[in-house]
A and B are shown apart, each in its own frame.
Chain A
Amino acid sequence: MQSTFVINLARIAIIIAVLALWEVLSRTGIVNPRLLPSASDTFVTLGDLLQRAAVQKDLMVTATEVLAAFALAVPFGAVIGFLVAENRYFADVAKPLLFFAFSIPKSIFLPMFILVFGVGFAQKVGFGFFSTIFIVIMSTTTAVESVKVEHLTVARSYGATPWQTAFRVYLPSMLPVLLEALRISMIFNLTGVILAEMYASRDGIGHQIATWGENFQMKQLLAGVVMVAAIAMTFNELVRWVETRCSHWRM
């Protein structure tokens, strides 16, 4: 009890120290405030931005793209991952190829996505999907492989039906790995969509951030960075919270 309290205190202290350092560097002019607006100014700007209809619309656009890409990539990748893990022949053929594909930086394909889909919703969702699917496939494969043969034999020896085996053995075995996969996939997905927006787009928060950068609007730029970072961290922490609740037995 005591130690987690102290650890949390230390964490908060570090965050405050970083913000204070940021504030001081900017206020004292050690770093040019035109390059690095102070923390307080940034947060005030952030509050302003969040109230602007244009920014709200950009956030909605990005959220829709991210969710669409995620909703496509996760089930699609999970099914492929499951087939790869469960089917010997499929695994032998596909596994090395997937590893090759995974190792390629996805960003180099962005120009091709623009050529194929044009600039717009489809291009960004498509690229988000493409950035995410490989990690989903690989994580699902790992998750299926984490199911112990002994557990499957136990289920079989007590007469479990395929459905019972799926829900009472596969699912709980895989759940911790799957949740972790979900979390990491979202990081890849968000990166993909925002990169696509920054590269070529007419709307979305990524596009806004890129524009602020080009126009040298440092306050807005930093506020945008803080905004996206906060959204990403919130999602991450939410899934992590579910993760720890579901995998307490993995100690």
Chain B
Amino acid sequence: MQPLANVTPLKPAARAGAIEVKNVGQVFKTRSQDVVALEDVSLEVKPGRFVVLVGPSGCGKSTLLMMMAGLRQQTSGTITISGAPIPQPDPDRVGVVFQEASLFPWLTAEDNVEFPLALRGVPRAERRAKAQDALKLVGLDGFGGRHPHELSGGMKQRVSIARGLVQDPPVLLMDEPFAALDEQTRMTMGDELLRIWAATGKTVVFVTHSLTEAVYLADEVIVMSARPGRIVDHLQVQLPRPRTYEMLSGDAFGALRDRIWRHIRKSA
């Protein structure tokens, strides 16, 4: 863990950050038929936990994340974040990091990070200071003046993470944030994310298709089945932290990955 005493706005949040999903279902009404995307999904995430969602393509991972972010309403059931329902996006409670290309290309890295603050009319100086802190936290000190097209894929995702953190929400939702990166960058970004997570104490819900990434990052892995999406397993990853590259070849790691893979193969 790195010393971050002078990063004022990003202090660990106290008791906030719990997520509760109870009997949630989502039905999409399309022209031809009703698509049941999620059925009776229940899960609980304690504050400060790193939870990874995996499951076959189309099982409803993004849909579930969108509902936790208040970007979409469930058809049935309840979702609470920090103890309250989330009928619309609330950047004070939830930060979202999207897959890729979600940065505004016409804004500099700094202005991208400031965007959420600018929307709420935070004064310029305060905005600057907070954006600087967030950029420092993700390891992009000194790159604030660059436009996205002048940054590598990994750096762009760091900016996205900084944007998600800038308002210091207790919960960070990440939908395949590293999917577009090459494997080496992806590994490094995983380590970086764990460092940031440890420094800030956020609750993280992270979606990925990589089982290795899932086990490597997670405290808990939630496995979902193909449509209609349901939770088929919820496993605890007891590996010690900090996680290291050597663990990837260990028996404990392999056993967890195999268990997840068997679920996914069954439902695919």
The answer to whether residues A157 and B101 also contact, given A172-B106, A249-B106, A251-B149 and a CB cut-off of 8 A, is no
Taking CB atoms, residues of chain A closer than 8 Å to B149 are 249, 251
Contact check, A153 vs B101: say whether CB atoms are below 8 A apart.
no
Distance in Å: Cβ of A4 to nearest Cβ of chain B: 20
The answer to whether residues A158 and B89 also contact, given A153-B71, A249-B147, A251-B149 and a CB cut-off of 8 A, is yes
Distance in Å: Cβ of B174 to nearest Cβ of chain A: 12
Contact check, A159 vs B98: say whether CB atoms are below 8 A apart.
no
Taking CB atoms, residues of chain B closer than 8 Å to A172 are 104, 106
B29 at the interface (CB under 8 A from A): no
A164 at the interface (CB under 8 A from B): yes
Taking CB atoms, residues of chain A closer than 8 Å to B102 are 150-151, 153-154
Distance in Å: Cβ of B94 to nearest Cβ of chain A: 8
B96 at the interface (CB under 8 A from A): yes
B120 at the interface (CB under 8 A from A): yes
B69 at the interface (CB under 8 A from A): yes
With the chains together, A169 CA to B104 CA distance in Å? 8
With the chains together, A161 CA to B99 CA distance in Å? 23
Taking CB atoms, residues of chain B closer than 8 Å to A160 are 119
Residues of chain A from 143 to 164 with CB closer than 8 A to chain B in the complex: 148, 150-151, 153-161, 164
The answer to whether residues A148 and B120 also contact, given A157-B91, A249-B106 and a CB cut-off of 8 A, is no
A250 at the interface (CB under 8 A from B): yes
Taking CB atoms, residues of chain A closer than 8 Å to B44 are none
Contact check, A159 vs B101: say whether CB atoms are below 8 A apart.
no
Where chain B touches its partner, the secondary structure class is loop
Contact check, A159 vs B120: say whether CB atoms are below 8 A apart.
yes
The answer to whether residues A148 and B101 also contact, given A164-B119, A249-B106 and a CB cut-off of 8 A, is yes
With the chains together, A164 CA to B117 CA distance in Å? 12
- B147 (CB) vs chain A CBs: closest residue: A249
Distance in Å: Cβ of A228 to nearest Cβ of chain B: 35
Contact check, B119 vs A158: say whether CB atoms are below 8 A apart.
yes
With the chains together, A251 CA to B115 CA distance in Å? 22
A153, A248, A249: the one within 8 Å of B98 (CB): A153
A-B residue pair count with CB separations less than 8 angstroms: 56
The answer to whether residues A158 and B104 also contact, given A153-B71, A249-B147, A251-B149 and a CB cut-off of 8 A, is no
Which bracket fits the contact residues of B? 20 to 34
Contact check, B106 vs A158: say whether CB atoms are below 8 A apart.
no
B105 at the interface (CB under 8 A from A): yes
Taking CB atoms, residues of chain B closer than 8 Å to A248 are 147
Taking CB atoms, residues of chain B closer than 8 Å to A155 are 119
Taking CB atoms, residues of chain B closer than 8 Å to A249 are 105-106, 147-149
Distance in Å: Cβ of B248 to nearest Cβ of chain A: 32
Contact check, A157 vs B106: say whether CB atoms are below 8 A apart.
no
Instruction: Please count how many residues in chain A sit with their CB below 8 Å of the partner chain's CB atoms.
Output: 22
- B148 (CB) vs chain A CBs: closest residue: A249
B90 at the interface (CB under 8 A from A): yes
Taking CB atoms, residues of chain B closer than 8 Å to A153 are 71, 98, 102
Distance in Å: Cβ of B20 to nearest Cβ of chain A: 20
Distance in Å: Cβ of A209 to nearest Cβ of chain B: 42
| Residues 79-97 of chain B, each 1 if its beta carbon lies under 8 Å from chain A, else 0 | 0000000001111001010
Distance in Å: Cβ of A212 to nearest Cβ of chain B: 47
Residues of chain B from 216 to 230 with CB closer than 8 A to chain A in the complex: none
Taking CB atoms, residues of chain A closer than 8 Å to B9 are none
Contact check, A157 vs B105: say whether CB atoms are below 8 A apart.
no
B190 at the interface (CB under 8 A from A): no
Taking CB atoms, residues of chain B closer than 8 Å to A168 are 115, 118-119
Contact check, A150 vs B115: say whether CB atoms are below 8 A apart.
no
Contact check, A159 vs B91: say whether CB atoms are below 8 A apart.
yes
B153 at the interface (CB under 8 A from A): no
Contact check, B119 vs A150: say whether CB atoms are below 8 A apart.
no
- B90 (CB) vs chain A CBs: closest residue: A159
- Having A159-B90, A168-B118, A173-B106, one finds 11 other A-B pairs with CB under 8 Å, namely A150-B101, A151-B104, A153-B98, A154-B98, A158-B115, A160-B119, A164-B119, A168-B115, A249-B147, A249-B148, A249-B149
- In the assembled complex, 30 residue pairs joining A and B whose CB atoms fall closer than 8 Å, in A order, are A148-B101, A150-B101, A150-B102, A153-B71, A153-B102, A154-B98, A154-B102, A154-B104, A154-B115, A155-B119, A156-B71, A157-B71, A157-B89, A157-B96, A158-B89, A158-B115, A159-B90, A159-B116, A159-B119, A168-B118, A168-B119, A169-B104, A172-B104, A172-B106, A173-B106, A175-B106, A249-B105, A249-B147, A249-B148, A251-B149
Which B residues form the contact surface with A (CB < 8 A)?
69-71, 88-91, 94, 96, 98-99, 101-102, 104-106, 115-116, 118-120, 147-149
Which A residues form the contact surface with B (CB < 8 A)?
148, 150-151, 153-161, 164, 168-169, 172-173, 175, 248-251
Report, nearest first, the 3 A-B pairs whose CB atoms are least far apart: A158-B116, A249-B105, A157-B96
